[in-house]
Structure 1
Amino acid sequence: MSVLLETSAGDVVIDLLTDYAPKECENFLKLCKVKYYNFSPVHSIQQNFSFQTGDPLGPTSPSSDGGSSIWGLVSGPSEKTFPATFNPKLKHLERGTVSMATVPHPSDPDVRVAGSQFIVTLGDSTDYLDGKAAIFGKVVEGFDALEKINNAITDHDGHPLVDIRIKHTIILDDPYADPPGLREPSQSPAPSKAQLATVRIADDATLTEEVDEDAAEKARREREARAQALTLEMMGDLPFAEVKPPENVLFVCKLNPVTTDSDLELIFSRFGIILSCEVIRDKKTGDSLQYAFIEFEEKSACEAAYFKMQGVLIDDRRIHVDFSQSVSKLAEVWRGGENAKRKRGRDGGGWGGVKGLEKWRKYREEDGRDDDRGRYSMVYGEEEMRGRHERQRDGGDEEGRGANDADRFADHGRDGRNRERPWNGGNGRERNQESQRRSRSPRREKHHIRARDDNDQREDRTRPRYDNRHRNPQDRDNDRNRGAHGDYRRR
């Protein structure tokens, strides 16, 4: 005699041990026949031990009565339970053992009664249940379903987060006669309102959408990059989070320390006009750090250099080229540089207040949008960078240096040529001497002259005296001519 249980985890076939537990087998068969177990939830899952089911509402429903035997359904509540039998030959020794859940009789603790709930073991050697659950069958097919139930995610009470329920029961063989008053339904009944109220997450609910792993990884990296950019914006390192590096700047590394800016400019100039070429050097020692940034006038020239110069031998070193990922120049323009730091507070320069930022940058697309999603191309204006580059090649930007000097000495009373401005006919030292002379009274002036004479006399006493009595006249004449501190070497 066998019964097929269709569950949301899979089908399970149970063979009934009618010779060892006839009462329990009859109760189970007839409850399956009247579809009493339909939509019953699986609960109390203990991994590698057991799970429990058979109550149409489950233990979480406040209106649940714990289930009833087949005799309680056809005869009345007085026969809701029946005394369970425990065969000493039946033990919970293997996985898939099926037994009726029992409780002590209210008036006789030595007698245990059963209703409709049953237990299925999920591990071997679960002899703890011997004497507490009455064995009446064993699982012969459907161990994959038992494995899914065993690995289900549950709460602290063992209830699965996604419902696992008995959907349908099919009797394969029934040797027992139907008790009086039993009526078999013509089809499986629909779940009641009380049963639907116990649903947490339906077993057919879609929890996760099918997404491409590569797309999910890309989205995760984009979220992380946006979060890091926002952090840099808050710290003041970037003007705004969506800033991008220029597309016409090439990064060159693995250079020979002897390679100079002019060498790289000469080599890379065949691809197009170069606006700037700078080998990055140590701030203190001036030694090359063996990498450089080359800014082209055209984006196409930068791309051509990227494809042609990879692995090229320069000064016995094979270089590596890549598109620049640096926005340091852009950030420096936004802050205003050193000049803006000195003038910050007077003209609003630096830290987002640079008036010439719009003139220096070409960040966004030329479609007129003013949002933060635009792309960025060049950091400096084309005409200005070309002019700066030509002036540097011709011997330096004298005009720029003169302007900087004028700004630097404007607050100190000096003009652009670093000459002191006249003030009442004299410089600072003369003004100090004049103020000291005027502040002295005649008495203090006399004391000052006396102190100065004393110092002169003290200095004269400390000078070395030379005895000229035992020297020849020629040497004494030479000493007088050279002075006491003259050179005593023979001429």
Structure 2
Amino acid sequence: MSVLLETSLGDIVIDLEVEACPKTCENFLKLCKVYYYNLHAFFNVSKDFLAQAGDPSATGTGGESIWSLIASRQGTKAPRYFTPEFVPRLKHKEKGTVSMAVAPGLEDGTKGGCGSQFFVTLGDNIDYLDGKHAVFGHVVEGLDTLDKLNDVFVDQEGRPFKDVRIRHVEILEDPFPDPEGLVVPDSIPTRPPDNSTRIAEDEDPLATLPEEEAEALRRKKAAQASALTLEMVGDLPFANVRPPENVLFVCKLNPVTRDEDLELIFSRFGTIMSCQVIRDKRTGDSLQYAFIEFDKREEAEQGYFKMQNVLVDDRRIWVDFSQSVSRLNDGKWSNDAKMGPRKSRGGFAGRDDLEETRRYRAGSGGGRGSYDMVFDVPGDKPRKRKSRSRSPRREKERERESDRRRSPARNYHRDRDSRRSRSRDRYDRDRDSRQRR
């Protein structure tokens, strides 16, 4: 009676001692049948000692027997562990011995025993495990896989830095009937049961991308960082915004071309929501480019294909899809533009996945950059400082003091002229008094 474990390092075939340990072997085979061990990690690997698996949480504290698993799915209670089967002749003598890990009893009265955790020895003559853990099988094929498992790099707790997982379990022969209530899942698990942050078992940490792919990835990350910066400074409504697909950018226009002219020319492709020639903010002169918004993307595509290099007012225009998102931010293409008729559509910028972001960013004040702060307290109003009445004399003193502080050089010359004027007046008075005498 054998079981094939397909691991990320290779295959392992385990021959079970079904006659000597019937209960242990039945528990192991039925857990394999319900795909319990699929995608489990070897969470404890000690060099030349053992490799342990069978815990869905990969912490060493989880796992249960097949009877407890059936009872939990039916909504009833059953013991988590079963009594281990120790056979004196089955010892941990050879490399590749498979044993069930025996959990100790807990303080709350839970009895210890065997659940789902098992381990495979990676060395010979580990006799101090005899009588402590129940041997129930031996590895008959895949000793080279055990050698690879023995050489993996682990952390201080014995967890491999790169996950080693049981990808699939195949039962080669099962002599036991299914217990009552056993239900085999319709599909095989596709996600690991634990939340591992280790290097994935199918990931190569030393692999390098080709130069072109690495450059493309670098440019993508740089673009994301730039978009986040533009969102922070207010140039973008949010970083993951995309230009609308129903807006055309038209350039190389004749300065005399008006909004009405373009709208009349492009209206044959569909309903135009807005058509605007961008003009200088100060002079009002045409900047010779415009934005045309259609109701549907297909209509914009027709305008793009049909109007390329078409002669309009003695100028061959250039048509492309717009890359601007300024209208998504403040509702217009330029500061002094008037918005044309626009029909309300679902979502934000024609995208339903951005609607929630728009509602969060919109704020209560409206307009560009008027975002609500998430830490504002509802109903909390800023306190107003009471104005104190000042006398005219005090106001004049404050003004003179402020003038003196603002311009020391000017105050110095002003004071010097004042002193000279007072001295001259005093001299004139003294002279007049002497003459009268």
**Bucket of the pairwise TM-score, normalised by the shorter protein:** 0.3 to 0.5
**TM-score (normalised: structure 2):** 0.45
